[in-house]
């Protein structure tokens, strides 16, 4: 099914000049960009976005990393987009991420893992994250001709 997923180039990706590479890989795969925003995440948004991890020992490190510099937040649309993007991202832990995946090729460690994508194993997380980062009028409906 056609669906939308929330994707974010994390502060390490912005610092290392990987925004273009990430966008390019998703475009090449046939996914359609429907929203994009270069922004600084504040503490409140970080805590809300990562609310499911609030009790984890790495929560403070996670929120301080994600607020440490600008991110490029995006919404991508396509057939099975949530799972497709997760596959292209690779495993959360770069040590487990296969070569050829975005993390497998670029991620440095568990925290600085370059990219976030909505979790296909957490139904509704895509809508929740899209709503958190974007107003409806910031998402553009259009045809992308193959």
| 120 tagged catalytic | no
- Quick one: how far is CA 61 from the chain centroid? 18
Q: Which is nearer to ligand CMP, 39 or 140 (CB)?
A: 39
**Smallest gap from residue 58 Cβ to ligand CMP (A):** 4
Which segments within 93-141 are labelled E, that is strand?
115-117
- Quick one: how far is CA 11 from the chain centroid? 11
Q: Alpha-carbon distance 29 to 37, whole Å?
A: 21
Q: Which is nearer to ligand CMP, 60 or 140 (CB)?
A: 60
Asked whether position 38 contacts ligand CMP by CB under 6 A, the answer is: no
Asked whether position 95 contacts ligand CMP by CB under 6 A, the answer is: no
Binding-site member from 13, 26, 62, 88 for ligand CMP (CB under 6 A) = 62
Asked whether position 58 contacts ligand CMP by CB under 6 A, the answer is: yes
Instruction: Note the helical H segments in the chain.
Output: 11-15, 19-28, 43-49, 59-66, 81-89, 102-106, 125-133
Q: Binding site for ATP: residue ranges? A: 10, 58, 86, 92, 103, 113
Q: Binding site: residue ranges? A: 10, 58, 86, 92, 103, 113
């Amino acid at each position: 099914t056609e669906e939308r997923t929330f994707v974010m180039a994390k502060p390490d990706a912005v610092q290392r000049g990987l925004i273009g590479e990430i966008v390019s890989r998703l475009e090449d795969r046939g996914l359609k960009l429907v929203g994009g925003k270069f922004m600084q995440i504040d503490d409140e948004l970080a805590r809300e976005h990562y609310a499911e991890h609030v009790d984890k020992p790495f929560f403070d490190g996670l929120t301080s990393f994600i607020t440490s510099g600008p991110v490029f937040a995006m919404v991508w649309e396509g057939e099975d987009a949530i799972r497709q993007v997760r596959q292209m991202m690779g495993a959360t832990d770069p040590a487990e991420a296969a070569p050829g995946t975005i993390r497998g090729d670029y991620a440095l460690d568990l925290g600085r893992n370059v990219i976030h994508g909505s979790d296909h194993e957490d139904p509704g997380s895509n809508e929740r994250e899209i709503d958190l980062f974007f107003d409806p009028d910031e998402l553009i409906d259009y045809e992308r001709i193959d």
